[in-house]
Structure 1
Amino acid sequence: MAEDDSPASAPDLGTVLAETRRRLAGAGIGEAALDARLIVEHFSGTRRIDALRDPALGLDALTVGRIEDAVGRRLAGMPVHRILGYREFYGLRLDLSPETLEPRPDTETLVEAMLPDLAGIAARKGACSILDLGTGTGAVALALLSALPQARASGVDLSAGAVKTATENAGRLGLDGRFTAFVSDWYRDVIGVFDAIVSNPPYITTVEMRALPVEVAGHDPHLALDGGPDGLDAYRVIAAGAGGHLDREGLVGVEIGSRQKADVAAVFAAQGLRLRSVARDLGGHDRALVFGF
């Protein structure tokens, strides 16, 4: 690589950060400045304040090489959090794996939509039980547990790799005493009745899957994305099985695609579950629906 195109030619923190930002921006990456900062800080073990206070801080060749490798992967379309191996969600650091969907800020809408009612259940009963269908990293369940000390959660996923990742995340966060994850095809191996069922299920239509950008289609597991021909397959399963696993005063909360509100509500209505509330994400799109009997 040419001398002026590599951070290795000037191995100090400020220059490496500026060069990384320049290369990502030059490739048309929308959040180049943020991605550059995340990459450089992660692989150099520095903080944001370090680049401001001591931009001349020297970086050794091994560190610069790791940053260079990460930049190459980002330029090839790998999402920055896949490169880092983790993502922050609801204030929690969650490790990722190839078998897990990368949790995104929109999904925090589901957490916020469920919390008030679940807090009420926990206060009334002194406890609260949650079933997280398609748990992935454990994001939704673990976020709820972090906010509800009286709650316990079971997370199920078809992927053994996802179950392993969710279990490890719970342990790292000190929530493993209240969280159990196991392999199940939706409700197949689930036993018991819960105060809440939550899910961020696959809801992209099979046709839309073909048009997904490489950053999504090439790195998020298709099992967690493809919702079938009309994007509603998972909702039908969740709604149909809720009656056997939901307390009569319990709630079902699901994330949806931005144009799926009416269709998903109809699926649940057919199983006797009425729409209680709708929550919008930061972009103003319908993102989470909460149902009850």
Structure 2
Amino acid sequence: MTQTPPTVAEAIRDAALRLAETSDTARLDAEVLMAHARGVTRSELLLRHMRDPAPKGFAALVARRAASEPVAYITGTQEFFGLPFAVGPGVLIPRGDSETLVEAALAAAPQARRVLDCGTGSGALLLAVLANRPQAQGLGIDRSPAALAMAAANARALGLDARAAMRLADWHAPGWSAGLGRFDLVLANPPYVEDAAELAPSVRAYEPAGALFSGPEGLDDYRVLVPQIAGLLEPGGTALVEIGHRQAGAVCAIGAAAGLSCVVHRDLGGRDRVVAFSVTNELAA
């Protein structure tokens, strides 16, 4: 006798039970993977397809997630600031906490004309700002050719490629910013995880170490990048830099030593998440 294949609802239930061993969001993961396998949105899946037969490819997707592979890498996409971004191995997955930086940037410079994103990765920060500032032009720099290719693809997919350029550059290299000019907004989500930090297997085993780790205190990249910020800003410009939630004091001290004033922004969880730097009056004079 031929066994009746499980329905979408049954397959999601079984997958959620399996994924609960490795994921804190097992049910959500199962629904997102099923929507991907079915070729529909999650909302469409839940409203219209729960009684359909489960697609054959779903089990393989669940197995990958059970091995701790991030859902965003399995589906190849991640939503950020209401926009869809292609992501994949070698490129950091944009996270909701980083939306705090975009909100702070939009509030800090509503008339920004030139925007620089240092370590652009998927392009999420830069493209989210440009999508909300139609008068602005942007430049994303990264030391990873793979990341730049993905950022450029995202710019094209979002119809922002006419205003968003990508350039290979590394702020550790002498002269990396030569010829870039100055910017009204500088954005950065540099590596800031301590080398010995405990991370979820889905992060440590799959996401690029070069975009995560920055020395024993997680401060090595701030020590290099922050002192260069004043030379990148137009008069009255602002730089928004993401931080680990225990790093505000140390990062602000690095900025103060470089002649920058500091304002700390918190994320929705009430944790320090973004430092806004501007040039002090003394240095500007």
What's the CA shift for 1:151? 1.0
Structure 1 counterpart of 2:181, which letter?
A: G
Give the Cα separation in 1 of the matches to 2:221 and 2:161.
27
Give the Cα separation in 2 of the matches to 1:22 and 1:269.
50
Alignment of 1:30-45 (within 5 A): 30-45=24-39
Residue 20 (structure 1) aligned to one of 15, 25, 34 = 15
Structure 2 counterpart of 1:225, which letter?
A: L
Q: Which residue of 2 aligns with 1:70?
A: 61
Q: Which residue of 2 aligns with 1:198?
A: 187
**Which range is displaced more, 211-220 or 157-166?**
211-220
What's the CA shift for 1:55? 2.8
Give the Cα separation in 2 of the matches to 1:230 and 1:54.
48
2:141 match: secondary structure: strand
Return the TM-score normalized by structure 1.
Answer: 0.88
Q: Is 1:197–1:251's contact at 8 Å kept on the other side of the alignment?
A: yes
Give the Cα separation in 2 of the matches to 1:13 and 1:21.
12
Q: Is 2:226–2:254's contact at 8 Å kept on the other side of the alignment?
A: yes
Residue 122 (structure 2) aligned to one of 137, 146, 167 = 137
**Which range is displaced more, 109-118 or 238-247?**
238-247
What's the CA shift for 1:9? 5.8
Q: Deviations over 1:162-219 (max 9, x none)?
A: 00000000000001011001110126155211111110000111222xx222111111
Give the Cα separation in 2 of the matches to 1:71 and 1:57.
18
Q: Does 1:111 align with 2:105?
A: no
Structure 1 counterpart of 2:264, which letter?
A: V
1:202 match: secondary structure: coil
Return the TM-score normalized by structure 2.
Answer: 0.91
Q: Deviations over 1:131-180 (max 9, x none)?
A: 10000000100110111111111000000000000000000000101100
Q: Which residue of 2 aligns with 1:58?
A: 53
Residue 188 (structure 1) aligned to one of 160, 176, 180 = 176
Q: Is 1:13–1:51's contact at 8 Å kept on the other side of the alignment?
A: no
Q: Which residue of 1 aligns with 2:70?
A: 79
Q: Which residue of 2 aligns with 1:5?
A: none
Q: Deviations over 1:87-140 (max 9, x none)?
A: 000011111122211000000011111111210xx1xxxx51111000000010
**Which range is displaced more, 259-268 or 187-196?**
187-196
Alignment of 1:223-262 (within 5 A): 223-262=210-249
1:101 match: secondary structure: coil
Give the Cα separation in 2 of the matches to 1:224 and 1:249.
29
Give the Cα separation in 1 of the matches to 2:258 and 2:158.
36
Q: Is 1:239–1:271's contact at 8 Å kept on the other side of the alignment?
A: yes
Write 1 or 2 for the structure with the bigger share of helix: 1
Give the percent of matched residue pairs that are identical in Structure 1 and Structure 2. Answer: 40
Residue 171 (structure 1) aligned to one of 156, 160, 174 = 156
RMSD: 1.8
Aligned residues: 273
Q: Is 1:204–1:226's contact at 8 Å kept on the other side of the alignment?
A: yes
What's the CA shift for 1:23? 2.0
